[in-house]
Structure 1
Amino acid sequence: MKSIFKTPNKLLPIFLALFLCFNTTKAQVVKRDSLPSSWELLKYDGISAFGGIKNTYTQPLRWKKEDFITAGAVVLGTAALYIIDEQSSDWFIAQEKDIPPLIRDIGWYSGKPVNNYSLTSAIYLYGLFTKNEKVRKTGVLLISAATAAGLLQTFTKTALGRARPGVGEGKWSFKPFSEEEGYHTFPSGHTILSFTTAYAIGKQFDNPFVKGGIYTLGLIAPASRLWAGAHWLTDIGLSIAISIAVVDTIDNYLNRDRNYGNIDPHKTKISWDFQMGPGRIGIRGTF
């Protein structure tokens, strides 16, 4: 039977509808003519996205003790998975024949850059043109996080040149800066794009069951790469850790340094000045 996912674009309405149906009910209710123009919002969001990417790469310079402890735990966890890389790879590959074609198709297409950016762009444009503050900010988070994490994994996997399981050379084989696709496995691009998107969307919901469902969808692509023998378990584990770190970093930046809590992006905050002079005393608020 022909899979309904042979055309990648058929994935988009499913994920988009899932996101919008939960967020539209939480939309900020304002008069549209009281908001800045779409062009003004687009410029503001572009600066926000660039700032989020820059913040991701400079964040290690601001790490504190607990951040170094977390990074150390990720390194130790990756090292622990490395011990069972070959055994786990053999087990996952043996399961592929029992995986429904529909699940395999979802895993393959959801981690492709063209499909990922189609989804994230659709979410952002919906938020931009409807001037839905929550959806617009989520779109900025999705695009900037996917870009920051994607560029990082592209450079890293090329620089390290680790062999894929399917190459047959084992987990210790590396060819740094090799142009061969078989030596671009660490970390996993499919995993980073898929789980970055799922984690960023999942953060917008408080319901643990909704979060769990979205995260489960985001884990299909990583699992599919293990079944296909395209990645080791350490590739997947580190990729998920990178996704979480990047999304959290950019989300914190948007919440802290960018003004998505108010309607007008040109208004940063309310300031209060204490004024006193001849015959007058009072407090002036600037909005």
Structure 2
Amino acid sequence: MRWLNDLWSAAKVGFFSCLVTIGIAQPLPTAVAVIQGFGHVWEEKPLLAAAAVALPACIALDRPLTELWEQSPVADVLFGAARLYGERWTPVLLAVGLYGIGWAAGEEQLRRAGLTVAGATLLTTAVIMGIKVAVGRARPFLGQGSWLFRPPAWHDAYQSFPSGHTAVAATLSAAVSSSLSLPPVASGALYVVTALTALSRIYHRAHWFSDVLAGALIGYASGQAVAQAFTPKKRAEHWSILPTVGGVSVKVPLR
């Protein structure tokens, strides 16, 4: 069955990314740390929470936005290239590349970025695949409308919500931007590519607008949360009182 092949391919990408890049070179974050990372994302990004709340209303825009696009040779090339950023092999190459360069150059931040990409991709893949099967939304190219749902969906044609390509693209941009502390211009460039990936899915009639919006939200949140979990935490500095032979001594941190 095709859905089993899709699930297996997605699992291979996630696990291969983790196994190849992990190297047991540094401790991995716990599940609690990742959950705390999600909390940080939602607290610090009110617009993200607002977009999630508004998502159901966006379904009304699905059909008009899908019918808006006209096929053209230029758009075919542009969106065909943009789609590649959300393919399953992209996070594998990126994670292995970042970790490999970091290992060769002795740069812990690059190694951590590779691990972040791998972990965030695995998390995003698990969430996306679970929702796709549970929701069972028909893809635009079927011509059955944006309100047709047939859960549980084991066939790719009814796994429109949410967009996996968009989720992967948003995950990569968020994970790399956050873990490498990229400047605004570089981060903006990554998110422009993410937006083009999302538009390519609408252009190719593989997804509705609300599908790509949901995918972007999930991917961004996963990338940011895992990046937060991998970020080294500074030890709290505090005064300490220690007993000595003649009484007590006070230890004061100077830096």
TM-score scaled by structure 1?
Answer: 0.69
Mapped contact 2:175–2:226 kept (Cα < 8 A): no
The equivalent of 1:33 in structure 2 is none
Task: Measure the CA separation in 1 of the matches of 2:197 and 2:41.
Answer: 33
The equivalent of 1:47 in structure 2 is 28
1:101-139 alpha-carbon deviations (Å, 9 max, x no partner): 1x2332232211122212122112222343202112211
The equivalent of 1:88 in structure 2 is 65
The equivalent of 2:225 in structure 1 is 249
Structure 2 counterpart of 1:235, from 167, 188, 211: 211
Task: Measure the CA separation in 1 of the matches of 2:32 and 2:42.
Answer: 22
Structure 2 counterpart of 1:202, from 148, 169, 177: 177
Mapped contact 2:136–2:158 kept (Cα < 8 A): yes
Mapped contact 1:199–1:218 kept (Cα < 8 A): no
What secondary structure, in the 3-state scheme, does the structure 2 residue paired with 1:174 have? coil
Matched positions, count: 231
1:248-285 alpha-carbon deviations (Å, 9 max, x no partner): 22222223xx45x7xxxxxx777864212322543569
The equivalent of 1:106 in structure 2 is 81
1:60-93 alpha-carbon deviations (Å, 9 max, x no partner): 7x699959x777623432122111111101113x
Q: Which runs of 5+ in 1 are unaligned?
A: 1-40, 262-267
Task: Measure the CA separation in 2 of the matches of 1:165 and 1:149.
Answer: 23
Task: Measure the CA separation in 1 of the matches of 2:159 and 2:76.
Answer: 27
TM-score scaled by structure 2?
Answer: 0.77
Q: Structure 1's 193 and 241: CA in aligned 2 closer, same or farther, altered over 3 A? A: same
1:144 is displaced (CA, Å) by 1.1
What secondary structure, in the 3-state scheme, does the structure 2 residue paired with 1:275 have? strand
Task: Measure the CA separation in 2 of the matches of 1:198 and 1:240.
Answer: 10
Amino acid at match of 1:158: V
**Whose RCO is larger (CA < 8 A, sep 6+)?**
2
**Mapping 1:144-223, distance limit 5 Å:** 144-203=119-178, 204-223=180-199
**Mapping 1:53-92, distance limit 5 Å:** 55-56=33-34, 73-92=50-69
Task: Measure the CA separation in 2 of the matches of 1:134 and 1:250.
Answer: 14
Q: Structure 1's 219 and 43: CA in aligned 2 closer, same or farther, altered over 3 A? A: same
- What RMSD in Å do the two structures reach over aligned CA positions? 3.2
